[in-house]
Amino acid sequence: GQQLNQSPQSMFIQEGEDVSMNCTSSSIFNTWLWYKQDPGEGPVLLIALYKAGELTSNGRLTAQFGITRKDSFLNISASIPSDVGIYFCAGQRGYSTLTFGKGTMLLVSP
C-alpha cells in the first residue's frame, strides 16, 4: 500500500521552542492534512492543504503543501504544554480514503 514517511518519530522540547515535522511520500497526493491526537482520544483535524505550494496557518501552526505534491511540513511556533500529543499527517488520492503517517509524538517540558 501507499506509504507516508513521517519524521521525526518523537520530539522532546522546552516550552517556547519552535517545532518542525514533515511527511514524505513516493506517491503524489491531491490533499494533505495534519491531525493531532490527545491521549485517549481520536485524532482532530488541524490544517488541510489543497494545492501544491500552499501555505496555511491556524494560530501558532503553519503547514505547507510541498511543490512536488509528495511532501508536507508542519511548524508549531512558541510551543506550550498543551501542544503535547501525537501529530499525524495524512494524504488523499482517491475521493474518500486517507493514508496516514505513523505519527510524531511531541512532548513539551514546562
Residue 42 sits at the vertex; the CA angle it makes with 40 and 44, to the nearest 5 degrees, is 125
Distance separating alpha carbons of residues 91 and 103, to the nearest angstrom:
13
Pick the stretch among 11-19, 39-47, 68-76, 77-85 that binds other proteins (CB under 8 A).
39-47
Query: Residue 45 interacts with other proteins (CB under 8 A)?
Result: yes
The residue count for binding other proteins (CB under 8 A) is 25
Grid cell at residue 92: 488523499
Query: Residue 103 interacts with other proteins (CB under 8 A)?
Result: yes
Binder of other proteins out of 26, 82, 96, 110 (CB under 8 A): 96
Query: Residue 40 interacts with other proteins (CB under 8 A)?
Result: yes
Interior/surface letters 1-15, b for 16+ CB within 10 angstroms, e for the rest: eeebebeeeebeeee
Binder of other proteins out of 17, 18, 27, 44 (CB under 8 A): 44
Backbone angles phi, psi at 83, to 5 degrees: -75, -10
Q: To the nearest whole angstrom, how small is the minimum distance from the Cβ of residue 11 to other proteins?
A: 15
